[in-house]
């Protein structure tokens, strides 16, 4: 069981929440559920409906599409945030590499929090914009290197 301070520190480390006031982060952290997964357990599969964001409290997970690894995440990392916002099917699978503990924020919990503190929506837009911009830069670099 995490302390309130531990929860606050983990939530504060998530990019979409970094610019929020501590009083809001404390509230958000307090409503998140703690969930544990054994090693080898699939947390969610590509194509599955998703409406939750996960913050890894302990352990490691593998983000993958079939057999292809996309990322290995450890303590403090978050995953699943895309489906939290758009309710689209998961774009990748996530499997526990070791036993792991997560804080889970549901879409409903987030929407209720946004109703109370609209600033979080601005932070989310900034994060998603940065990610799209970063992917565009990578695509442009790839296209440039292929034409040489």
Mean pLDDT by 10 residues, the chain (148 residues): 87 81 83 96 94 94 95 93 82 96 92 82 77 86 83
| CB neighbour list of residue 70: distance below 8 Å, 6 or more residues apart | 63, 64, 92
Residue spans of the domains in the chain: they are 4-146
Identify the architecture of domain 4-146 in CATH: Sandwich (2.60)
Q: Please name which of 139, 52, 143 lies closest in space to residue 90, comparing C-alpha atoms.
A: 52
Structure tokens at 145: 């290197």
Q: Please name which of 34, 3, 16 lies closest in space to residue 117, comparing C-alpha atoms.
A: 16
Determine the pLDDT at residue 126: 78
Q: Please name which of 137, 116, 142 lies closest in space to residue 24, comparing C-alpha atoms.
A: 116
The whole-angstrom separation of Cα 84 and Cα 49 is: 10
Determine the pLDDT at residue 66: 92
pTM: 0.79
Determine the pLDDT at residue 19: 72
């Amino acid at each position: 069981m995490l302390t309130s301070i531990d929860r606050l520190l983990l939530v504060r480390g998530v990019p979409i929440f970094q610019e929020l006031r501590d009083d809001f982060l404390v509230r958000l952290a307090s409503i998140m559920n703690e969930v544990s997964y054994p090693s080898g357990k699939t947390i969610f599969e590509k194509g599955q409906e998703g409406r939750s964001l996960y913050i890894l409290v302990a352990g490691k997970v593998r983000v993958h599409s079939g057999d292809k690894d996309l990322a290995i995440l450890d303590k403090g990392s978050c995953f699943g945030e895309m489906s939290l916002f758009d309710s689209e099917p998961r774009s990748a699978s996530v499997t526990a590499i070791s036993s792991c503990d997560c804080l889970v924020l549901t879409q409903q919990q987030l929407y209720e929090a946004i109703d109370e503190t609209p600033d979080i929506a601005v932070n989310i837009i900034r994060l998603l914009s940065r990610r799209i911009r970063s992917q565009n830069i990578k695509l442009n670099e790839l296209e440039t290197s292929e034409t040489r």
